[in-house]
Amino acid sequence: MHPAIQGLLTIAFGVGGCVGYFYLSNVILDKLIFPARGPHIARNIRRANMVRPWLFLLPALLALGLYLAYPVVETMRLSLTERLPGGGSEFVGLDNYSQMLGEAKFWEALQNNFLWLLVVPAVSTAFGLLAAQLTDRLAWGNIAKSLIFMPMAISFVGAAVIWKLVYDARPPGTEQIGILNAIYVWLGGVEPQQWLTIPFWNNFFLMMVLVWIQTGFAMVILSAALRGIPEETIEAAIVDGAGPFQIFFKIKVPQIMGTIVVVWTTITIVVLKIFDIVFALTNGQWETQVLANYMYDKLFRANDWGVGSASAMIIMLLVMPILVWNVYNARREMR
């Protein structure tokens, strides 16, 4: 069957199926199981209303359970087992973890991930805050904002191509087509640099791509927060003779600290899962490995599910504090 027809059928089937499910299940509940008539009308209505929320939730809960909750448990199990040739698996305890901890590539990935964690959220948030503040009351601020925000819509792969052109190097003596090398040569650099192959520093060139994408996100959120600051606090500061920098750092920033933390943690999560940029630009060569790409290598190139799952669990472990913090906050807010 042609994929387009298959796609249309799936849409029709999915949408029709959902609507049909919700409609029919409600009808069955109200008309057949607990009919709102007869001697037990009050009891039936009450019971129907107790069941109904679960009808509404059922498909979502099934999907969430199967596609997000179950994999966490299953990955945990896989990380403790070893596949046997010819199918089946055996329990090996923490062998996968100790094998992983013995690999230099894993430590390189972990180290780089921490470097990313340190740099990307901080730089993106800082640039975002700067852009939000600068464009705040400019007449054409919205246009400027939407242009800075634009990379958000570009895929990591597209961004990788865009930045590969920026980092491109041609042999010395010929004209440089990568802007970075063109500037480097213009400033007096003799040998054009292969930026992505210089260990340690190449990490920063990869991070730049993500910073470029995430700054717009930080800017949008922080700019809304800046607008929400009560005018009086700023006016009072002006009356007291505060300069623009004092107002920004001592009046505005403290008031939006909560939002800054939110932006920071959101970008942190993106960083923990970063995969496409590294996969497309260096594929972990030249000491740029990160955890998610290490995991992909293990799962699909080395075909080692045990160690792959173990490294996935490390990512989960790193996400855990943010997960707990978010749930804690959400619960507090609901009270």
Partner 1 sequence: MNAIAGQKPGLIWALRISVIVLVGLWLFPTVGLFISSFRTGDQIATSGWWKALFPTEQNLTLRTAAPETQVPEGDLWVIEGNLFEGESDAEISAWGTNARDISAYGPGDMAELRGGERLTVEADGSYRMEATEEMGGRRGPRVFVTAVVPPEFTLQNYETILISGGATDNMARAFFNTLTVTIPATIIPILVAAFAAYALAWMEFPGRALLIAAIVGLLVVPLQLALIPLLKFHNEIGIGKGYLGVWMAHTGFGLPLAIYLLRNYMVGIPRDIIENARVDGATDFQIFTRIILPLSFPALASFAIFQFLWTWNDLLVAMVFLIDATGETTVMTKQIVELLGTRGGNWEILATSAFVSIAVPLAVFFAMQKYLVRGLLAGSVK
Q: Give me the least distance between CB of 84 and partner 1, in Å please.
A: 15
Q: Give me the least distance between CB of 302 and partner 1, in Å please.
A: 13
Question: Of residues 28, 33, 41, 61, which one binds partner 1 by CB under 8 A?
Answer: 61
Q: Give me the least distance between CB of 191 and partner 1, in Å please.
A: 18
Pick the piece of the chain touching partner 1 (CB under 8 A) from 93-101, 117-125, 192-200, 277-285.
277-285
Residue 106 sits in the site that holds partner 1 (CB under 8 A): no
Place of tokens 């995969």: 275
Name the H helices within the chain: 3-27, 41-64, 70-79, 95-101, 104-135, 141-149, 156-167, 179-186, 201-227, 231-239, 244-246, 253-255, 257-272, 276-281, 291-296, 305-334
Dist CA 229 CA 237 (whole Å)? 13
Site for partner 1 in 283-302 (CB under 8 A): 292, 295-296, 299-300
Q: Is 191 helix (H, G, I), strand (E, B) or coil?
A: coil
Residue 201 sits in the site that holds partner 1 (CB under 8 A): no
Q: Give me the least distance between CB of 147 and partner 1, in Å please.
A: 5
Q: Give me the least distance between CB of 106 and partner 1, in Å please.
A: 15
Residue 96 sits in the site that holds partner 1 (CB under 8 A): no
Site for partner 1 in 212-251 (CB under 8 A): 212, 215-217, 220-221, 224, 235, 238, 243-244, 247
Dist CA 249 CA 235 (whole Å)? 15
Residue 19 sits in the site that holds partner 1 (CB under 8 A): yes
Contact between residue 216 and residue 149 where contact means Cβ atoms under 8 Å apart:
yes
Question: Of residues 99, 108, 111, 164, which one binds partner 1 by CB under 8 A?
Answer: 164
Residue 334 sits in the site that holds partner 1 (CB under 8 A): yes
Distance of CA 294 to the CA centre of its chain: 17
Q: Give me the least distance between CB of 107 and partner 1, in Å please.
A: 19
Binding mask 20-59 for partner 1 (x = CB under 8 A): --xx--x---x------------------xx-xxx-xx-x
User: Nearest 5°: phi and psi at 138?
Assistant: -85, 145
Other Cβ atoms within 10 Å of 133 Cβ, number: 17
Dist CA 60 CA 116 (whole Å)? 34
The angle at the Cα of 119, spanning 76 to 188, to the nearest 5 degrees, equals: 135
